[in-house]
Chain A
Amino acid sequence: MRFHGQHQRNRVTLPDITSMVDVVFLLIIFFLTTSSLVRATVSEIDLAEEAGNVEASLEERGLVVNVTPEGLYLVEGDAVPLDSLLGMIAAEADDEAGLADVEVLVRADKDAPLRPVNALASGLVELGVRDWKLATRVPPGVAPTASRNAPERP
């Protein structure tokens, strides 16, 4: 008769849900926090529908500048005047590489006039920033252009 031993084995296998619930709630808090940050960085902009010449990367560095249909610059959800924006871009410069490594992604609304984009582009030229990208929305049914090569710099 070994009833006692069996009872002990069953008691040992009881799982503790408390720690699992803790982990689940920590994950929920993490995802809630990070998703709101992503939303603040990338504003809802109606981009031009083009296939582009390079794919968007998930690990894009640099500054994301959104341009609204009214011509306002939005950085992380806040409207920023051009002077301050250029100051922010200049502040991104590395001590060693300078502004050569600064990347600027411009997400401009397709219905916005080119005036704010031109003003920003002229400011980037004056600062010495050459690495800029224009965001497009991949049209439905069109594969992102992974096969295309990035253009050579003149």
Chain B
Amino acid sequence: MDFTQSKRSARSRLMGGLQLTSMVDVIFLLLIYFLLTTTYTPPEARLTPALQAERVSGGAAADLEPQVVHVELVDGRPGFRIGERVLREQSSLRNVLQQLPKDAGVFVRGAHDAPVGFGVAALQAAYDAGFFKVTYVPAR
């Protein structure tokens, strides 16, 4: 006589209320739903430049004259200008900024018609060059 079979059926009859199959089905459906509907958000970072209004210069110049990086359209193309020097690449700007004294800080002035990407690139180049005092000056 096979007692094990009768024991198993008796046990399954008692535990028969628990239907895991449907529960697993639901969980897998939910998993698939969330996998399909979830949008991947790329990692973000922050730039934290100080903010200062543009001033019309007048009177005596300060002891430490800060460097100003102009972000503007030069000959119809966006670029960076330091004094008379026009740079088109962020790496070139970074190399130039690395050679400048860091104590006075650097000002980045963004022209209205220049793209945001170039303004952000100028700020990033200033931080990468080792400046700690980075200030954004919005054009009037």
Contact = CB atoms under 8 A, between A and B. Distances in A.
B115 A125 contact: no
A55 B14 CA distance: 56
> Which interface class (under 10, 10 to 19, 20 to 34, 35 or more) fits B?
35 or more
A117 B110 contact: yes
B11 A10 contact: yes
Nearest to A149: B132
A1 interface: no
Contact of A121 (B48, B71, B132, B136): B136
Contacts of A54: 45-48
A78 interface: no
Contacts of A55: 45-46
Nearest to B139: A118
Nearest to A39: B39
Contact of B45 (A17, A52, A152): A52
Contacts of A132: 48, 51
Interface in B116-140: 116-117, 119-121, 123-124, 127, 131-136, 138-140
A80 interface: no
Contacts, number: 158
> Which interface class (under 10, 10 to 19, 20 to 34, 35 or more) fits A?
35 or more
A146 to B, nearest CB: 9
B45 A145 contact: yes
A28 B10 CA distance: 37
Contacts of A86: none
B45 A151 contact: no
Closest 6 CB pairs between A and B? Answer: A52-B45, A110-B117, A118-B138, A115-B112, A48-B120, A121-B138
Interface of A: 7, 10-11, 13-15, 17, 28, 31, 35, 39, 42, 47-48, 50-56, 67, 105, 108-115, 117-119, 121-122, 124-126, 129-130, 132-138, 144-145, 148-154
18 contacts: A53-B45, A53-B46, A54-B48, A110-B115, A110-B116, A111-B116, A111-B117, A113-B113, A114-B71, A114-B115, A134-B47, A135-B45, A136-B124, A144-B45, A145-B45, A150-B48, A151-B127, A153-B50
